[in-house]
Chain A
Amino acid sequence: MRTTRRELLAGAAAAAAPLGAALPLPAYAQARPLRVGILAPRAGVAGTVGEVGLKGVEFAVEKLNAAGGVAGRRVELVIEEETNPRETVERARRLALQERVDVIQGVVSSGVSLALGPALEESRILTVFWDGTTQDGVNETMPRPRWVFRSTDNECEAVMGSLMAIKHFRGQFLTVAGINPDYSYGRNNWAAFLALLRRFNIEHRVVTEQWPRVGGMDLTANVAALKAANPDLVFSSLLFADLPVFMRQAHAAGLLEGRKWVFPAAGFQHTALKKEFTPPGMVFGHNTLYFADPQATPLAREFVQWYHERTRDWPHWEADRAFFAMEVWRRGVEKAVQAKGGGAWPSNAEIAEAIRGIEVVSLGGPGRMRPDGVAEQTFIQGLTVHDPRYDFPILGPDRITRMDGRQLQKGPGQDFWRWIAEARFDL
Chain B
Amino acid sequence: MAALIEVLAAGLFHAAVLFLVAAGLQLVFGVQRILNLACGSFYALGAYLGVTAGGLALGAGLSPLLALPLLVLAGAAVAALGPPVERLLRLVYDRDESFQLLLTFALVLMFQDLIRMGWGSQPQQVEGVYLAYGQVQLGAARIPVWNLLVLAAAIAIAGGLGLFLQRTDFGRILRATAENRRMAASLGVDTGRVYAAVFTLGTALGGIGGALVVPAAAAVPEKAVELVVEAFAVVVIGGLGSMPGALAGAAIVGLLRAGALLVWPELELLAVYAVVVAVLLLRPAGLFGRPAA
Q: Are A245 and B217 in contact (CB under 8 A)?
A: yes
Q: Are A274 and B122 in contact (CB under 8 A)?
A: no
Selected interface stretch from A69-77, A215-223, A325-333, A382-390: A215-223
Distance in angstroms between the alpha carbons of A368 and B265 in the assembled complex: 41
Interface residue tally on B, bucketed by range = 35 or more
Q: Are B14 and A220 in contact (CB under 8 A)?
A: yes
Q: Does A48 contact B (CB under 8 A)?
A: yes
Given known A-B contacts A224-B6, A225-B265, A277-B131, A215 and B220 have beta carbons under 8 A apart: yes
Mark contacts of B94-128 with chain A using CB atoms, 8 A cut-off: 1 yes-contact digit, 0 otherwise.
00000000000000000000001000111101010
Q: Are B144 and A228 in contact (CB under 8 A)?
A: no
Q: Does A149 contact B (CB under 8 A)?
A: no
Select A215's contact among B146, B223, B268, beta carbons within 8 Å. B223
Q: Does A291 contact B (CB under 8 A)?
A: no
Nearest-CB residue, chain B, relative to A41? B121
Given known A-B contacts A240-B123, A248-B216, A221 and B261 have beta carbons under 8 A apart: yes
Nearest-CB residue, chain A, relative to B7? A224
Q: Does A78 contact B (CB under 8 A)?
A: no
Q: Are A249 and B216 in contact (CB under 8 A)?
A: yes
Q: Which residues of A contact B10 (CB under 8 A)?
A: 220-221, 223-224
Q: Does B149 contact A (CB under 8 A)?
A: no
Selected interface stretch from A136-144, A251-259, A297-305, A356-364: A251-259
Q: Are A43 and B121 in contact (CB under 8 A)?
A: yes
Q: Which residues of B contact A274 (CB under 8 A)?
A: 127
Q: Are B222 and A222 in contact (CB under 8 A)?
A: no
Given known A-B contacts A215-B226, A224-B262, A227-B6, A254 and B142 have beta carbons under 8 A apart: yes
Mark contacts of A201-227 with chain B using CB atoms, 8 A cut-off: 1 yes-contact digit, 0 otherwise.
000000011110101111011111101
Given known A-B contacts A245-B217, A252-B135, A218 and B14 have beta carbons under 8 A apart: yes
Given known A-B contacts A241-B218, A251-B131, A253-B143, A225 and B262 have beta carbons under 8 A apart: yes
Mark contacts of B127-140 with chain A using CB atoms, 8 A cut-off: 1 yes-contact digit, 0 otherwise.
10011000100000
Q: Which residues of A contact B243 (CB under 8 A)?
A: none
Q: Which residues of A contact B142 (CB under 8 A)?
A: 253-254
Q: Does A24 contact B (CB under 8 A)?
A: no
Q: Are A218 and B216 in contact (CB under 8 A)?
A: yes
* B170 nearest CB across to chain A (Å): 34
Q: Which residues of B contact A45 (CB under 8 A)?
A: 123, 220, 222
Which residues of A22-49 have CB atoms within 8 Å of chain B's CB atoms?
A: 42-45, 47-48
Distance in angstroms between the alpha carbons of A211 and B13 in the assembled complex: 19
Which residues of A229-287 have CB atoms within 8 Å of chain B's CB atoms?
A: 240-241, 244-245, 248-249, 251-254, 272, 274, 276-277
Q: Which residues of A contact B216 (CB under 8 A)?
A: 218, 220, 245, 248-249
Q: Which residues of A contact B122 (CB under 8 A)?
A: 47-48, 241
Mark contacts of B1-30 with chain A using CB atoms, 8 A cut-off: 1 yes-contact digit, 0 otherwise.
001101101110110010000000000000
A-B pairs, top 10 by smallest CB distance, nearest first, are: A241-B123, A228-B3, A43-B121, A252-B144, A221-B258, A217-B217, A47-B121, A224-B10, A220-B10, A225-B261
B residues sitting closer than 8 Å to A (CB atoms) are 3-4, 6-7, 9-11, 13-14, 17, 116, 120-123, 125, 127, 130-131, 135, 142-144, 146-147, 213, 216-218, 220-223, 226, 257-258, 261-262, 265-266, 268
10 A–B contacts, CB within 8 A, in A order: A44-B121, A45-B123, A47-B122, A210-B265, A215-B223, A217-B217, A217-B218, A252-B131, A253-B142, A276-B131
